Structure 1
Amino acid sequence: MRMEVMQVLHMNGGNGENSYSRNSTVQRKIISLAKPIVEEAVLQIMNNNYPESMGIADLGCSSGPNTLQLISEILSILNSKCSQLGRPLPELRVFLNDLFNNDFNGIFVSLPAFYDRIKVENGIRSYSCFISGVPGSFYGRLFPSNSLHLVHSSSSLHWLSQVPTGLENDAREALNKGKIFISKNSPQIVLDAYSMQFQKDFSLFLSSRSRETVSGGRLVLSFMGRASTDPTSDEEFYHWELLGQALMSMAKEGLVEEQKVDSFNAPYYAPCPEEVRAETEKEGSFVIDRLEAFQIDWDGGGREVFEAAVAAQRVAKTIRAVVESMLQAHFGKDIMDDLFRRFQELVEDHLSKTRAYYVNLVISMIKK
């Protein structure tokens, strides 16, 4: 699939049944797991260089209830720390970034209620926290030089800037036939293409943030990864395999062209910790302070009794809210309901046999 990722990748906006706003439990769990590491980074910034004006960027902020959760938590941490020290709260410059088609209107509409809440909870007035939207790809510069103290990104960096090149042979034939992502049957050239694209993108991300972040500034990054160094160990991202199976079942029934399935490749990569460390050291601008890996149920967990059917419905809605824009751009919107019904059935069958987890990496870095 050759497509401009910046034009077609966005979470489902609004507040409807299939919106990201109503189907982002997994992402909220990830933010919660990373909270202690974010708190540690914020406190170290304050201890090392109590800034009068503090620049904070949340990259890949999306929209919905999760978007302002991070900012609310940072404000609470700062308010507590400043109270202990008897010092005023720094003026906060908060930048919310995502791609151009993100539902920024949904974020802005929610700001009055957010300002009211932080005033009640922490006594913080709106003129102490200036929030703005910054559309654009974080694979490149977004902010002025030396303007940021803390950069946060959650559930975003597993998305590549583009579908890797080299997934077709010289005759323009797909090399990853019947698959939409890396699988056990993918040829080595496909694995190499994905790995090289991740290396290129992650290096560009780090070098861009290096110019924008002050010396001693912090990055806290949370994104999907994998435990094994083997990219074909699909336990962590088997949902792509099942989504591909759902598409192929439609192709066999003549509802989708098989060639269209062959030509779709997800612009996604879940690296192992070793890859992250290697690329960070190679780029050279940051030192990794902490690198943690967490397991998260496909549906976000949080229930005492596990029911495969209930979990499968939540998984299907979560994945649909995230990837539907890309699938519509390639296959058209008419097949979406049928596709995700089939996907849900496959997920239910899979979850009835095994408990499925994502691996989420949380990395805290310090600017040299």
Structure 2
Amino acid sequence: MKIGVPKEIKNYESRVAVTPAGVFELVNCGHQVFVQEGAGEGSGFSDDDYKETGAYMLPTIEAVYAMTDMIVKVKEPIAYEYNLVKKNQIVFTYFHFASSRELTEAMINSKAVCIAYETVTDAEGTLPLLTPMSEVAGRMAIQQGAKYLEKPIKGRGVLLGGVPGVPPGKVLVLGAGVVGVQAAKMAAGLGAHVTILDINMKRLRYVNDVMPSHVVTEFSSVYNIKKHIKNHDLIIGAVLIPGAKAPSLITRDMLKDMRPGTVLVDVAVDQGGCFETTMPTTHDDPTFIIDDIVHYCVANMPGAVPYTSTLALTNVTLPYVLKLANMGWEKACEQNGDLRSGLSIVKGEVVAKELLEVFSLPLV
């Protein structure tokens, strides 16, 4: 199979979907890999690194799409790429269709085979291709939140860890999944007081068992959320419904109950966001303020740490890329339930039930 690795062109997206080591594995299996020049530079891989492992280097993104049977990316195609996607071409990447009708309709019109990293589900019911980026994003949420709590950036002026004689900052985490647990771990490590809310008691018991005593668990309810937003400095939105839009747990009118300079970090922005006031931002302009509340809603947070993120992502995606390349998408999805769960749009037809619910699109 001819496999294409284009350079990511989303704002400040420096990750790459296949490393030189991945190229080596694919070439050894008899496949041809076409990499756009400069695709790996942001993650620390030179064109020469790719050439040495057998990749063919192409000068433009157009050439990569035109030459290949399967495109492997990190982020969803943006508008410029819509017309580059070919009929019957496999596109394997993070799509987050639920947050963009425009993207969904463009991929339907392309007649391509779209397999979404974020809905690939293994036998244990976990999301193996989303997990490493959720781990990165959860940890980054605290790193960024701590920064934007600083007064020069319009935050409350709170040091999360506090100092002797001064109490630590308070962090509220909505969701005890991978993002939430990683965020709680980082916040606790800084010395902050952490409250983590979820409706899944099994997850709350797990958090209670593995976290230090200054991480407190509570059942998530509108009442408890309204109670805690009044006195927490940093609020992390970390709720995921695979393939569907995230629920709006904090509404616009609830902002008035927060203290000025409170920081909201919405890690679920790719899926529409946990806050009603969420609007996707970029690393160029990461925050906005509504009612004196600082919002950080960058849609590709792990893109800011591409070296770490690329290695973490490709560790888990390469086995699936190999299956698709070795068997073809139909046989690979027939024999692998996890890959089959990632199928979203196939040759113009929606096959993911969640998209029907979100956009009322036709389902085969």
- Fold shared, TM-score > 0.5 on shorter chain: no
TM-score, reference length from structure 1: 0.39
The structure whose RCO (Cα within 8 Å, separation 6+) is larger is 1
